[in-house]
Amino acid sequence: MSDREDVLREIDRNFDVAVNKLLELIAIPSISSEPSGEADIARAAEWLKAELDAIGLPAKVVPTKGHPVVLAHSAAQLGLRRPCLLFYGHYDVQPVGDPAEWKHEPFEPRIVEEDGVHRFYGRGASDSKSQLWTFVEALRAWKSVHDDFPADITVLLEGEEECGSPSLPEFIEAYREELECDVAFICDAEMWSPTQPAITTQLKGLVHEKVTISAPNPDLHSGHYGAVAANPIRILSSILAGLHDEKGKVTIDGFYDGVSDIPENVRAQWAELAKEPTLIGDVDLTGGVTEEGYSSLEAMWGRPTVDINGITSGNQGPGERSVLPGSATSRLSFRLVPGQEPETIRSRFRSHVEASLPEGCRVEFEGAGGSSAVMLSQDSRFLKASSRGLEEEWGMPPVLRGTGGAIPLVEQVNRRLGAECVVIGFILPSDAIHAPDERYDTERLRKGVRSWVRIFEEIQSHAEV
Ligand SMILES: [Zn+2]
């Protein structure tokens, strides 16, 4: 017991150093989706490798077709049979957007005191550099007190999460053996509220699709031909409008095949949570349509959806141009639940569009890949240990929540490697994730680091022999 107190004291002793190092990392503009970010991505990867090396986790920077992965392992302890824990985080960040919308410099973080809270602002401050720093600092503190890690450790830090993790499947396939673990802790998720932690146990899958409808002719004079020729915008918008019926159900044939209804016990859990709707927070839902028969949380976490993300065609210029456009394009995304496969949904959508196409018009589709939904077991011993650890630190049990979002790695690790995943994070919607003035605070960082130490302790004291 006193050892654990020693680790918590070590976190306090080193806290200023840990915060300053984190600010150094946030100052590196490791934007993964812009070509100009490449050199900084490489710099961030090398910076992390050096930090992991320094705490006794020899690391390598592994090149991929896209951005590199930083991969580290603790040295094998001969004769010790103990679990292997993998920690996942990502070091790439979203683009800044319009710099004029930022009150703080996106890559010059420093601590500012606001109403007694010590905050720091910067792109990546919450998503996800502080997140990965919670477990790196916890591992460092534990090692410095015990001269050993709490288990065999693998750390995987990705550099292209913010652009859809395109190289991840290939990387996982190639490094299968090195990635074998008993549990993967995915530290890229939100808390339930500023005072209550959460473990995410249900994640949706994701499919993107682009559809272009072309008329038999290129652009035409709308006065001459508007009354008689096909208008791709009209055709496309009618197909898009018909994707949902008046009850909010998706009309694509076979869309719900294989989908089981949300289990009663899960519905009951979520009904409890919905009593304090912190998740929806400041978002005004007026005018939105929720599938009939489901609450907002059930629709967000447990029901499949299709969303129209964009439409382009015809006159987009500043002046009038009376044109009958030659083509119209839309981008859509599907959020999947267990039982739905990305390729099946894609082909059902394509058949649906083809069946609605008037004679003489053509359709082209673009899109590949995607991820499936994941439902994680609530019975896992690692999830239970994590629950106890989080409760000890925060004084409240974690909420077992779902999310409408996807974390591609969870599906990869869970399905391809067959490892358990526990999805924990310490960020909040109010951190301005992906928005101007993204922020985080030192107190949550400290509690995040301490949470991991308590989780390590729980895993050790309940180890199966
Ligand atoms: Zn993000």
Closest CA to 450 of 364, 390, 409: 390
Question: 399 in helix, strand or coil?
Answer: strand
Rounded to the nearest angstrom, the distance between the alpha carbon of 313 and the centre of ligand 1 is 30
Sign of the C-alpha dihedral, residues 456, 460, 461, 463?
positive
pLDDT 10s digits, 405-452:
888 788 888 888 888 999 999 999 899 999 999 999 999 999 999 999
Question: How far apart are the CA of 428 and the centre of ligand 1, in A?
Answer: 12
Whether 283 is in a domain gets the answer: no
Supply the pTM of this predicted model: 0.85
Q: Are residues 12 and 148 in the same domain?
A: yes
Say whether both 214 and 341 belong to one domain: yes
| CA nearest neighbour of 121 among 131, 100, 135, 107 | 107
Based on the fold, state whether residues 85 and 169 are members of the same structural domain: yes
Centre of ligand 1 to C-alpha 440, Å, is: 14
Is residue 285 assigned to a domain?
no
The count of domains in the chain is 2
Domain-embedded: residue 193:
yes
Distance in Å, CA 54 to ligand 1 centroid: 27
Residue 282 domain-assigned?
no
Domain final position from 366, 393, 410: 366
Residue 280, pLDDT score: 66
Query: What is the distance in A from the centroid of ligand 1 to the CA of 310?
Result: 20
Ligand 1 centroid–CA 68 distance in Å is 17
- Alpha carbon of 434 to ligand 1 centroid (Å): 6
| Distance from residue 315's CA to the centre of ligand 1 (Å) | 33
CA of 189 to the centre of ligand 1 (A): 10
243 alpha carbon – ligand 1 mean position (Å): 29
- Ligand 1: distance of its center to the CA of 92 in Å? 9
How far apart are the CA of 49 and the centre of ligand 1, in A? 22
Q: How far is the CA of 230 from the centre of ligand 1 (A)?
A: 41
* Same domain, yes or no: 111 and 250: no
Q: In Å, what is the CA distance from 363 to each residue of 226, 353, 368?
A: 21, 8, 16
Q: Could you tell me the distance, in angstroms and rounded to a whole number, from the CA of residue 190 to the centre of ligand 1?
A: 11
CATH of the domain at 71: 3.40.630.10
Among residues 437, 378, 372, which one has the least CA distance to residue 411? 372
Query: Is the domain of 319 the same as that of 397?
Result: no
Residues lower than pLDDT 70 in the chain: 1-2, 276-282, 463-465
My answer on whether 265 and 397 are in the same domain is no
User: What is the pLDDT, as a whole number, of residue 396?
Assistant: 95
Residue 284 covered by a domain: no
Residue 347 shares a structural domain with residue 386: no
Taking the CA atoms of 110, 114, 118 and 121 in sequence, report the sign of the dihedral they define. negative
> What local confidence, expressed as pLDDT, does residue 465 receive?
42
Centre of ligand 1 to C-alpha 53, Å, is 26
Answer yes or no: is 278 within a domain.
no
- Identity at 43, one-letter amino acid code: R
317 and 411 belong to one structural domain: no
Q: Which domain holds residue 399?
A: 2-203+373-461
Q: What CATH number is attached to the domain comprising 236?
A: 3.30.70.360
Q: Does 172 map to a domain?
A: yes
Distance, CA 94 to ligand 1 centroid (Å)? 6
Distance from residue 409's CA to the centre of ligand 1 (Å): 13
CB 103 within 8 A of CB 172: no
Q: What is the DSSP pairing of strand 198-203 with strand 420-424?
A: antiparallel
How many Å lie between the centroid of ligand 1 and the Cα of residue 186? 13
Last residue of a domain, one of 317, 340, 366: 366
User: What is the whole-number distance in angstroms between the Cα of residue 163 and the centre of ligand 1?
Assistant: 9
Last residue of a domain, one of 350, 366, 382: 366
Backbone angles phi, psi at 429, to 5 degrees: -55, -30
131 CA to middle of ligand 1, Å?
A: 11
